[in-house]
Amino acid sequence: MARNATATEIDIFTEDAILNPHEYYRQLRDRGAAIWMDKYDCWVLPRHREVKAGLEDHGTFSSGSGVCLNGMMNDTMAGSSALQSDPPAHTRLRRMLGSRLTPRALNAHKDAIQERADALVSALLDKGSFDVVADFSLSFPISVVPDLLGCPADGRDHLLKWASAAFQATGPMNERTSAALPALQEFLGYTNRLVDENLLSAGGWGDQMLQEARAGEIDEATLPLLLVDYLGPSIDTTTNALSVAIWKLGEQPDQWRAVRRDPTLINNIVDEAVRFEAPIRGFSRLLTSDFETEDGTLPAGDRVFFLYGSANRDERFWQNPNVFDVTRDTTGHVGFGGGIHRCVGQGLAKLEAKALFTALVQKVSEIEVGEPEWGVHNILRGISRMPATLRG
């Protein structure tokens, strides 16, 4: 496909496109299946069909050369983590991450997580008005996941900043990425200290991985980046999904009433929130061979950017995609990625969400929310603050 014939002047990394993305995404979908972004030397795939197909074809769409939109980070991080590797390395790394995230393994933590959720919702009812992000959707995962990993108390207050920086740096080399690099270095320094100074609590997930690494299952030098794989996605993306869910359930009271009438819908809340506002806007891949689209052939050696946030609103796949609906069949959404790189931690995110919304259904009759303020971020799509009140 000729790049000049498909090039677009639309820049999805401007502040306006980040804050108000969906009209930009619609324009890209209407232009074609694959569009060349000359500024970023990359194809963008905005439609569901191509994004879904690409995610399921890890042989053609390689992660082993990095998933970032800037060469410096790809050169530094390629092959270093489960996210940025191909088989067989990816298989070993993901097995180590995933062994603690299977349904059976997570079930052992179900009751403790539910107790935390019950206590948090009760406290927020007593508090009256609160900030959804700081007091609900961030405070919960940032307490659960570091405890499971066995992280010390020191450093936890920086985890949100560090996790955000790790995602920020996967975007193009713009001012946001440059500004995030010092915090990313701090994050890597922190996870290295956890390993080198043996600061992980005995019996926690982090300590278990350390023992497995010392037994030769993986190179111990990769362990700090595996801790980043746990801490980064488990905080930011879960926070963003929970915030969106509360926003829409408060903004659309009929949706909350439907959940209270039928609590089985709790299981669908996070998937619909992740479809409606994908917490991760997208990642890139490197083509190892030509890829056919309905508009032409993308050549091997080119980089592509899977635009999850657009694919999840594609009118060609979804009925009424711009409507948040907890009764929707969300099968096929790409908010958790797909294929062998499908989010390994989604089971934990859904367990946390189920606990929180179970507590809310039992205790809360009404959710009132104010206007959300959105963060400006290369890769993450999330609410930065939003007032709310719960009524029993």
- Say whether pLDDT at 216 is over 90: no
Helix or strand holding residue 17 (H, E): helix 15-19
pTM over 0.85: yes
- Say whether pLDDT at 35 is over 90: yes
**Angle formed by the axes of helices 159-168 and 141-149, nearest 10°:** 90
For every residue of 309-346, which 3-state class applies, written as one string? HHHCCCCCCCCCCCCCCCCCCCCCCCCCCCHHHCCCCH
Average pLDDT, the chain: 92
In the chain, the percentage of residues whose pLDDT exceeds 70 is 99
Which tokens hold the place of 124? 């927020």
Which tokens hold the place of 111? 């009751």
Please classify residue 128 by burial: count the beta carbons closer than 10 Å to its beta carbon, then call 0-12 exposed, 13-18 middle and 19+ buried.
exposed
- Say whether pLDDT at 5 is over 70: no
Find out whether 179 and 230 touch, Cβ atoms under 8 Å.
Answer: no
Block residue for tokens 């999805």 = 12
Find out whether 243 and 382 touch, Cβ atoms under 8 Å.
Answer: yes
Q: Please tell me what DSSP assigns to residue 158.
A: G
Q: Strand order in 129-131's β-sheet?
A: 129-131, 387-391, 366-369
What pLDDT, in 10s, does the model give residues 336-376?
999 999 988 889 999 999 999 999 999 999 999 999 999 99
